Amino acid sequence: MSDLNHPAPTLPAPGRLRLAGLIALIVIVVVVALGVISRLSQARELKAWTNEQATPTVNAIMPDASTGSMPLELPGRIEAYTQAPIYARVGGYLKSWKADIGTHVKAGQLLAEIDTPDLDQQLLQARADLASAKANEALAATTAKRWQAMLDSDSVSKQDVDQRTGDYDAKRALANAAQANVDRIEAMKGYARIVAPFDGVVTARNTDVGALINAGSSSGQALFVVSDVSKLRVYVQVPQNFAPSVVHGVSATLGVPEYPGHTFAARFDASAQAVNASSGSTLVQLAVDNADGKLMPGSFASVRFKFGGDRQSLRIPASALIFDASGLHVATVGAGDRVAFKQITILRDYGKTVEIGSGLTAQDKVIDSPPDGLNDGDAVKIADNKPDNGPENQPKAANDHAKA
């Protein structure tokens, strides 16, 4: 009875089953196709990003070009225009000194006195010898005159008269020699007074009262040094390639550490006209007026020459230079963003920058701090000074690949 009250379930028609299966198949195919397409797109993006990262990114700069006068800055040494180390000509003991360092002195002004007991005794002996020689000369003169008178009366022979006359001449010569010896010792005695040879400043005093003085000790230390600082000499070693340009008429200025920001005018004075084989430079002498006494001899100076004429100079950072077995060159970015190496020569080195003598033009794009392994013809990418390697700037495919 129960089976009759509940009808049997109705089965779907075969056509509907086929339609549902077809729809499910289409959906599956679409999903798979979308997945494959997305995967291929991500792979292409990843490959493009990888290739882009494989291309070196370089910082390209343009040479700093300037036209005008060409400056040259070199170290120099300041010396007194006239300087005299003063040594003793006589021995003894220093009796007193009258001028200390920094004292302005005039020519002939007394600097010190030397006590010379040995020389004083020599002078006394020389004067005694002179008196004896003069006495002998006077006696010989009287004798010769007397014998000459006797010759007139034929009392003596001519030979005897000639002997007495010769003896007088010899005694007179001895007297002259004794006089010359006295004059010499008196002249030496004058050197016991040490005086300034010219107007100037005492820049050194290396002795004191009671010190033993050795005559003529030029190999030792000078007693005093007197320098004329109203005018100074500046010695500069000029590189050989600039030596022909440093001639009369070239203007120069110099600066010293004790007066920062202040310059002093200098003028060309002389050139050695020879190249030092060890340094490859020529010694040049400049003259500087120092009437105000601001500059001091012996000090260091930075000398700046300014050459006339118009010329274009190119400067690049020293970090762009490449030294290898092929010489000195730089890497530039050429057509198609390809690397092109160029041989160069350096005109002057300023430390952080160098001035190029040849090999570059103002239009060349120079690679600063070129990476290792860079070869001629390599493709590079010029940096735009923006961060492009952060995660936010990487392609989505790279991020997805990293997550996978």
Strand 381-382, strand 57-61: pairing: parallel
> DSSP label at 338?
B
Tell me how far the alpha carbon of residue 130 is from its chain's centroid.
62
> DSSP label at 360?
-
Mean residue pLDDT across the chain? 83
**CA–CA gap between residue 18 and residue 20 (Å, rounded):** 6
Q: At how many degrees (to 10) do helices 158-190 and 117-152 cross?
A: 160
pLDDT tens per residue, range 169-201 = 999 999 999 999 999 999 999 999 999 999 999
Tokens of 289: 């007026």
pLDDT tens per residue, range 223-278 = 999 999 999 999 999 988 788 888 887 889 999 999 998 999 999 999 998 999 88
Residue 18 or residue 297, greater confidence: 297
**CA–CA gap between residue 131 and residue 120 (Å, rounded):** 17
**CA–CA gap between residue 144 and residue 167 (Å, rounded):** 8
pLDDT tens per residue, range 331-372 = 898 888 888 888 988 877 777 888 887 888 888 889 888 888
Nearest to 273 by CA among 291, 257, 285: 285
**CA–CA gap between residue 328 and residue 320 (Å, rounded):** 11
The arithmetic mean of pLDDT across residues 297-311, rounded, is 79
pLDDT tens per residue, range 114-172 = 999 999 999 999 999 999 999 999 999 998 888 888 877 777 788 888 888 898 999 99
**CA–CA gap between residue 282 and residue 226 (Å, rounded):** 28
Nearest to 314 by CA among 363, 367, 275, 279: 363
**CA–CA gap between residue 100 and residue 103 (Å, rounded):** 6
Dihedral over Cα of 10, 15, 19, 24: its sign: positive
**CA–CA gap between residue 61 and residue 53 (Å, rounded):** 21
Single-letter amino acid, residue 323: F
> DSSP label at 21?
H
- The rounded percent of the chain whose pLDDT value lies above 70 is 85
For the CA atoms of 83, 89, 92, 98, the dihedral, rounded to the nearest 10 degrees, stands at: -40
**CA–CA gap between residue 183 and residue 181 (Å, rounded):** 5
> CA triplet 164, 169, 174: central angle to 5 degrees?
125
Residue 125 or residue 387, greater confidence: 125
Domains of the chain from N-terminus onward: 57-67+313-394 (2.40.420.20), 88-114+197-222 (no CATH), 117-191 (1.10.287.470), 229-310 (2.40.30.170)
Label residue 390 by pLDDT band (50, 70, 90): very low
**CA–CA gap between residue 76 and residue 304 (Å, rounded):** 10
